[in-house]
Amino acid sequence: MSKIIVKDLSKNFGKVNALKNVSFEFEENKIYGLLGRNGAGKSTLLNIMTNKLFPTNGEVYVDGENVCENDKVLSKIYCMMEKNLYLDGIKVKEVFKWSKVFYPDFDVEYSLTLADKFGLKINKKVKELSTGYSSIFKIIIALSCNAPIILLDEPVLGLDANHRDLFYKELIANYSERPRTIVISTHLIEEVADIIEKVIIIKDGELIMNDSIENVLSRGYAISGVASKIDEFIENKQVIGVDTLGGLKTAYVVGSLDKSTVPNDLEISKLDLQKLFIQLTNA
């Protein structure tokens, strides 16, 4: 039971509208990808969802309760964010210990196992960790705290390929064992494309997509071939973008495809999330 409803959410920083009247729902126990270009409003959204910021307008509800200043609801969410929130000289293992106090379902043993797997030194002070290990430290808390909602803001920042691989595997193992709502905000789309079940895309503070990956990818196709023939084919179709390379052209088309109408010398391929994202979020 951890449904999140974002309702008419707006946030202004001075004259900048970071979020513009955004409304949508997170279904429970699914892995979401929250995608958007830098400055699109992803972190602002996550910060409002965990009441680290106050919205200019609108509300966020978890299981029907407003998150604003609500201990009960806030304790159901763990948000890993880019910023380090452990300012004084607290040590990694002390944070694990205290996390158990604040999140009673926190699994200390599991956190220590993970620390060992990632090679995180638990006697180090949090503020002395490198960017990569700071991410790892926060990932471990997020995976161990067993809150019904986990928000991950750029979780693999500074992680090398091995650690990223380990993280994704642990995330899936963890999720398989204890399904819960997970939101991964990232710009490394290719890496999460197969892991996420749902995708939310934000552009300039506005929601432009909230759908399952499968729907999104089956909603359109890419078609490539000689430019003139492509132009002919895409006439009257909803094209979200084109790539041109010399006389060749690839068009990204939304809509169902009737294969019998495709000329023999044009090639059809499926959309991939990264390409789709780039086409949708290009200015």
Q: Are the C-beta atoms of residues 242 and 266 closer than 8 Å to each other? A: no
Window of 16-24, 72-80, 199-207, 229-237 that interacts with another protein by CB under 8 A: 72-80
Within the chain, strands assigned E span 4-13, 16-26, 31-36, 57-62, 65-66, 77-80, 149-153, 181-186, 198-203, 206-212, 220-226, 238-245, 248-254, 267-270
Counting residues that bind another protein (by CB under 8 A) gives 48
Query: From CA 140, how far away is CA 171, in angstroms rounded?
Result: 10
Query: From CA 103, how far away is CA 124, in angstroms rounded?
Result: 22
Window of 49-57, 113-121, 223-231, 249-257 that interacts with another protein by CB under 8 A: 49-57
16 near another protein, judged by CB under 8 A = no
SS3 206: strand
Amino acid letter for position 115: A
Give the shortest CB-144-to-another protein separation in angstroms.
Answer: 13
Which residues within the stretch 249-278 sit at the binding site for another protein (CB under 8 A)? 264-265, 269-270
First to last CA, the chain: 38
What the block records as the tokens of 238 is 């909803």
181 near another protein, judged by CB under 8 A = no
CA of 95: how far to CAs of 84, 110, 182, in Å? Answer: 12, 14, 22
Cβ proximity to another protein: between 236 and 264 the closer is: 264
DSSP state of 125: B
Give the shortest CB-238-to-another protein separation in angstroms.
Answer: 20
Window of 18-26, 128-136, 193-201, 242-250 that interacts with another protein by CB under 8 A: 193-201
Q: Contact letters (x/-) for another protein, 205-224, by CB under 8 A?
A: ---------x--xx------
87 near another protein, judged by CB under 8 A = yes
Which residues within the stretch 118-147 sit at the binding site for another protein (CB under 8 A)? 147
Cα-flanking dihedrals φ and ψ of residue 158, to 5°? 80, 5
Cβ proximity to another protein: between 4 and 196 the closer is: 196
Give the shortest CB-168-to-another protein separation in angstroms.
Answer: 5
> In the complex, which residues of this chain contact another protein (CB under 8 A)?
30-31, 47, 50-54, 69-71, 74-79, 83, 85-88, 90, 98-99, 101-103, 147, 165, 168-169, 172-173, 175-177, 194-197, 214, 217-218, 264-265, 269-270
